[in-house]
Amino acid sequence: MIRRLISLIVLIVALTTLVSLAGTSQQLTPALTSLLRLEDRRAASTVSTESLPAYTRKVAGKPRFQRYFTRLALSDDAGASPHSGQITRWTKRRVRIDILNNGGAGTEAYVRRLVSRLNHMQSTTRFMLVDGSADITIEFLSHEAYALAVGDDSVGNCETRFYMGTPGLVSAAIKIDAGALDSPEERRAVIIHELTHALGFKGHLSQPRDRTRSVLYYAASIDQWTQDDGAAIRIMYSSKIKNGMNAANVRKALRRISAAQPASSAEGRATP
């Protein structure tokens, strides 16, 4: 009996240590489920592809957009092709976002507008700005503190924890080097860039022609989601995209979305 108790204690200590490990993206295993306090366990109801706006369904069938979506939704560590990684996104009904400290004048209002826009673009998961316990945190650091915590080769970082299957994303911690950003416009561009990573988009675009195509251009430069960004977010949180899908699965899903017949409620809508 004592031997079993000791073994159980050792196992709990080992698992707890694994949970606390830091990393840009940390995969959790099903064995850790009982050690994590997961709120809103009830799965969100995904949006049917037939209800997606016309532009989103149309662009899903375009090879250029398919390459764009696959690169952003999956890890780009291996380069443009072949893509590595699998889909990881939120499946909770509600995802809470907390700004941990002062990000400068207008920052909270800007994040609030982004959250409102997110909820307008998709209705699978409701994102909400809170003050307290949160799933996504945003922290602004001095240049010295950021360099110590993250490094000095970037101005923003999003560290996520996730399961490869259900429930997908578990948490995201955004850190921003406020000391290196001279203007509110630069700060907003980094905020929306890192928040988009926190939605489950891991990759970046790097070609100069893509500078204004997406907030995930590797050097953040725009502070509003583009039409293609909006389409990508809608698709990511639609019924055809699921956690654990690889590049081949994603391409098949995009073709199915493109082929879907429009629902009467979505007919004629021109927004992404």
Chain segment 19-75, per-residue pLDDT in tens? 222 235 655 444 433 333 434 445 555 666 777 899 999 999 999 999 999 999 987
Which tops the pLDDT comparison, 78 or 118?
A: 118
0.85 exceeded by the pTM? no
Report CA-CA distances (Å) from 232 to 48, 55, 99, 202, 237.
Answer: 15, 11, 25, 13, 9
Cα–Cα distance for residue pair 159/89, rounded to 1 Å: 14
Question: Is the confidence at residue 89, as pLDDT, over 70?
Answer: yes
CB 99 within 8 A of CB 207: no
Among 37-41, 113-117, 188-192, which stretch is predicted with the lowest mean pLDDT? Answer: 37-41
Average pLDDT over residues 95-107: 96
Report the 10 Å Cβ neighbour count for 133: 10
The pLDDT of residue 27: 52
The pLDDT of residue 25: 60
Cα–Cα distance for residue pair 115/166, rounded to 1 Å: 24
Chain segment 149-164, per-residue pLDDT in tens? 999 899 999 999 998 7
Chain segment 118-141, per-residue pLDDT in tens? 999 999 999 999 999 999 999 999
The pair of structure tokens assigned to 122 is 């998709």
Chain segment 201-252, per-residue pLDDT in tens? 999 988 888 889 999 998 878 999 999 999 999 999 999 999 999 999 999 9
The pLDDT of residue 30: 44
Cα–Cα distance for residue pair 144/214, rounded to 1 Å: 29
| pLDDT band for position 106 (cuts 50, 70, 90) | very high
CB 176 within 8 A of CB 140: yes
